[in-house]
Structures are given as C-alpha cells and as structure tokens.
Structure 1
C-alpha cells in the first residue's frame, strides 16, 4: 500500500492549513460569501452534505463556469454521506463533458451515490482520516399512479446499474463484488479505500 506524502503534487492544500481552507463539514449553514468567492477563485467546488437535485444544480453550474474560464484542473472537495442517485448522475454528466480535468479530494466522508461522482473524477485523493461508506444509492421520492411508481423504479434500477459499472471500472472489482458491498453497507478507511481502488492517493502530512 502506497501512502504518498506530497499533496502539492495534486494541487490540494495540505490538511494542516488554517481552518478557512477546510470548510468541509457536511451539512450546517452555507459558507460565508467571501469564503465561497475565495474558494471559487482557487477553482475549488464544494460538495457538502446530502446531494440533492438543488445542490447538484449549483455544483454543475460552478463546474461549467470554471471549465469555461480555463483548462486548469478543477478541485472538487467532497464531504457528503450520500444523496439522490439522479442528482449524482447529473453531476457526473457535467464532469464527463468538461474539458478541464476534475481532481476530487474527500475531506471527511463520501458515501452512497456520491461515490459514483468520485469515480467520475480524473484523479481521486482523500485525507487520511476520511471515511467511505459503500451503500446502495437511494432514489428520490416518487409519488403517482402504480404505473408511474413502477416506471420510476425501473429507471432507478437502470441508474443504479450505471453507478455500479462506474465503480467497477474505476476499482477494477467485479460487478458482483460492488453490488455485494453496496448491499452490505461496507465501510472503509482512507487506506482501505486506496487498496479497494476508490481513490488513487491518501494525502498525509509531510514528513510522516
């Protein structure tokens, strides 16, 4: 297992920077405007808390704006336990369409549908105390007639298959293994996620 110690190679701020560079706690109030602006100037997009369709719209807009501003890598900082699968796939579609590469950094946690977003990034890293939760992505709430509910269930299964294939491709694991781990709700440390293939690197403090 290879724990590399040079976060500057990725263009990520090291984990011992001042707190203003680590606004990655899931949930809670929104970031101050000045901090959002400063992060945006550094080509950093935050994925915090539950990934909803509304949050996905904002993340997609930020990614597209930064992509149009230049070809330099965009940093996607992830601190999310999961969210709606449809929202995750909408972010993935944008990442796939970008010219600029996306470098994802898991700062505290990543789980559920957000793991598929992580898999879509060109590079994936995590701080050494980050945690990962393999859990079956949830579907958004569906109401309507029996036929509408059945159609929505079929759509969710197709979307779930796409997410599983994404994870299988990036990890090199068989599809059946990914499905089993999602069903069992397997949890991984950053080091275990590196070994599993979810990330490419664990960012550790220099000198350790």
Structure 2
C-alpha cells in the first residue's frame, strides 16, 4: 500500500495552528499539507508542539477514514509530550502512516512506533537513544515520583519498539543505552521501518 497521500480529500476548514518545531512553515504551505492529510513532526518535541500535532491528527481523523501521513524529522524531545501524541494515535480510527524525512531519535521513536505503517527516505538517519524526561523541580519526594514516572514511560517505549522490531527487550534497552545510530537501510533491517522510499526518477546514465 503506498505511503503517499491522495489529494482528492479536501477538508473545508483551516488546519489548526501547529507550533513550529524549528523554522516555521508559511501558512499557505501548512494549509496545503493539511489538505493532503499530512502532519509535520519537526524539531524537538515539546508539550506545545505535541498539542498542535494532536489537534491536527484529531481534526483529520474526524474528517474521514483515509490514512493520515505523519512526516517525522525530529531528534527527540520530551518523552511525556511524545506519549501524549501516542495516546491520540492509539485512539484514532484512521490509520497513521509515518515517513521519516530526515531523522528520528529519542522520544520521536515512540511516535514512530505507534504508527500503523513506517517508512523513511534513503538518507534519513535514526538514533536509538533514551528519551529525556522533562525538567522537574520540587521536593525530594516530587523529584523521586517524577523519576519513577519517567522509568515507567521509558518501559512503555521499550515494549513498543520490541513489538514492532521483533527484537528482545534486552536488546532494545542495550541499544538505547548505547545511543546506536542507524541508516535507513539499517533501520529497515532492524525492523524500525517497513520500507525505504525508492527514488521515482532514474539516476544519471
């Protein structure tokens, strides 16, 4: 099944504002992408960007059952923010097809693992590293509780990665601890993605 959107679906409303994760997109381009059921996950994942992504996903899901295309270019970010996007993806009726356009690492891997289909461009890069926890201040008990919550969230990510890759959880944990880096071809072999997008044009003769 192709991972590219079909432009026949044209929602009648404007896309929700997506807080930029990196350089902002022009409004007309954001609208055009939204019309094609494309949502961008760009830059570091924060609570703000996760809220915008979740709103876009929910809006497109209510518009129809066609696949939603999530374009990922993120080195990571806050794990709790990533899991808030994952919770929304788990609740959608429409399938989500993720395409790694440049990079995916850390917390972005949790979002990638939640997609129904996963692909990457040939020169995309992956980094298996432990997603970071949001900064917590407060009493010793509050900091300890937050640390425990982060460990539980990290375990959920490990389980999801083990499920999609078929790798033992111990292997996933070791690779996350080591910060293992993968090319798109290596990510395909590892099981993180199911397809490396081939160029449509022939190379120079």
TM-score normalised per structure 2: 0.89
Tell me the equivalent position of 1:21: none
Alpha-carbon separation, structure 1, partners of 2:159 and 2:2 = 29
**RMSD value, Cα:** 1.5
Structure 1 unaligned residues grouped into runs of 5+:
1-7, 14-25
Task: Determine the C-alpha separation between the residues in 2 that align with 1:27 and 1:101.
Answer: 23
1 CA distance for matches of 2:105 and 2:2? 25
CA distance in 1, matches of 2:21, 2:147: 28
The Cα shift of 1:116 comes to: 1.1
Aligned counterparts of 1:48 and 1:28: Cα–Cα separation in 2: 6
Match of 1:41 in 2: 35
Superposed CA offset, 1:149-171 (max 9, x none): 00000000000000000000000
Q: Is 1:127 equivalent to 2:116 in the alignment?
A: no
Of 153, 170, 178 in structure 1, the residue corresponding to residue 164 of structure 2 is: 170
2:45 pairs with 1:60: no
Residue 71 of structure 1: aligned partner:
65
TM superposition shift of 1:28: 3.3
In the TM superposition, residue 182 of structure 1 has moved relative to its aligned partner by 0.2
SS of 1:187's equivalent? strand
Map residues 134-149 of structure 1 onto 2, 5 A cutoff.
134-149=128-143
Structure 2 residue ranges without an equivalent (≥5): 7-19
1:90 alignment counterpart: 84
1:41: how far off?
A: 0.3
Q: TM-score, structure 1 length as denominator?
A: 0.88
The one of 171, 180, 185 aligned to 1:191: 185
**In 1, distance between residues paired with 2:124 and 2:35?**
25
For the structure 1 residues 63 and 127, does the alpha-carbon distance in structure 2 shift closer, same or farther, using more than 3 Å as the test?
Answer: same
Distance in 1 between the 2:28 and 2:3 partners? 25
**Cα distance in structure 2, aligned partners of 1:169 and 1:87:** 21
Deviation (angstroms), 1:27: 4.9
